[in-house]
Structure 1
Amino acid sequence: MRYRSIDLNLLVVLDALLDDPSATRVAERLNVGQPAISAMLAKLRDHFGDPLLVQEGRKLVLSPVAIELKPAVHAWIERARTLTAAKPGFDAARAERRFSIACSEIVAGFLLPLVSSRLARDAPGISLEVRTFSAFRAARTPAIEALERHGLDFVVLPSIFTSAEHPRRPLLTAAYRCLVWRGNHAAFPRLDEVAFYRLPHIVPTLLDGSVATIESDDALIHRAQRERAVRTEHLLAIPFALANTSLVATLPSFVAERFAARQTHLRLVDCPIPLPPLSEVVQWRQNRENDPAYVWFKDLLLDCAKEIAPQA
């Protein structure tokens, strides 16, 4: 068989080079010397009978053969990782591993503290690496960007941004409520539709400026004078920004309720217009669908989500 003529470890190097065609950067990433990477590239070129990386100006680019090989090599590496990580059963109390997850500030600030508390109590050897969803929001397919290119274990994001190529489960669903400063007389005794559209709004955003909570912000600020809307990437700044202003913050109910409970200068009011509920979905890599550790952690996320946003 032809695969016996190649050291399968070379495929790890090939996968890295196909992802980033730079021997210097791949050497740093794999913690080996650049001459070793160049030697392994020579062996790969001999095996496939193709240069794989070709000079274009001052940089190396993938050859047509390399482009064709890329998905197959990546899939093989992922299957190998799954095979070597597989263990018969999973004992969370004794396990030592790290899970990585990309999510919004809302999920990081309100769900993950519960997850961390449960891990400390039930699985002290398991730790979390948290990445912001903003880092992948500009990608055309942010779920694929996070799970495949960056190799994260889980991603939590609005349902409209999920990928059909990976398993998914609904995680958080919540209606929206509004927060105002207690001295905002335009919203007293209640916030009506006229005042909602007349008053300026403050909305949490992602790095690309898009609204981070409501899947479409048209209903919220299209008629509510966009030029008067305050946008912030910092969700936790919103309660303080409302003080002594006529601003309105429209947030998922579990977020608005907790802010109001902690900040006495805020008042919680019902949203006077119909809005689609927040719908956050958790996804994980397809090749880990049957990994007992993944199943356990996914169930932990779902269980903690019920505590902050109980489903009817």
Structure 2
Amino acid sequence: MAQLTHYSKPYLSLIETGKRRPLPEVVAAYEQALGLPIGGDAMRRAHEWLVSDSPTAVQRRSGRRVGESLADALDARVVELRHLDDVVGSAALLPAVRQELEEAQSLVRNGSYVEPIGRRLLTATGELAQLAGWVASDAGRYADAQRLYLGGVSAAEEAGNDSLAAQLFSSLSYQIANVADPRDALLLARTAVTGARRATPVVRTLLLERVAWASAKTKDRDGTLRALDAVDDTYEQRSTGIEEPEWVYWLNRAEIDVMAGRCMIQLGAPDKAEPLLSGAVATYPEGHSREVALYLSWLAESYARTGALDAATATLERARGYAARMPSTRTDDRFDAVEKLLPPR
């Protein structure tokens, strides 16, 4: 490999044993030599997060005043971890996110910085807390997730970021709607919408989706339909001239249709859910195995509740194939729920 890439053997040895993190150009050289796209290997990337020092750890050792460069590095790290959640299972990702969160919290407590940098650090901490809570919830660690969400709210409030605070409350609302009293979830979701005074259109769309879901879980048909109408209207207000926070990168028309379909099932209208769900699943990236599995489970439920049991069974088996690539407590719970609607195998 040293001959093929023109890097020294000792240097490559450090990389291959995990003692040095590879630079992008080294990864590119390996890809060219092997003829394989190793840069997109999600598990390898997740492992790198676990074994490498974070920017904040390096900063603490150096003792320098926190400046723009570290804030930029932390922001980039948050983004990459967030996108890893699309392709890496919760068990592998949660330690990496929690480590990064702890480093960021320590930096906020002990670092030296001017006020604008402090706001950026607090915002990154809040975003990491939201991500950690989301991943913990996906792993079935609901009490941990609630603590993480609420801790993130404190950071977001101190940063003066009401949209992020609303996102944290809204994420907690989504968990409560699924595993606890949906009436509490609805109150929390509505509070998030009201408190997000400066929310951009896509952020407000996400917050309204959580209201729709909590309303559906409480069987409030009129409230659900009003919320879904508000979701559509608000999403249409998005504009290239309005800068959205990176954490809503995933919200698009297909995701909105999935949520609408799920709400229809909760309201007892599975026939209206099927076209929404099947159309959305057809456009979803196959590499996002957990989400595909989840959305297929809802499609299977729509088939089961309309009496198309063969289609439901086949769709559920397809969902299980995706879930095997990326285990999740959420998918396990969904499969159990759909299985109860099908004839015994």
TM-score exceeds 0.5: no
TM-score range, shorter chain: under 0.3
Instruction: Give the structure, 1 or 2, with the largest relative contact order (CA under 8 Å, sep 6 or more).
Output: 1
Larger relative helix fraction: 2
More strand by share: 1
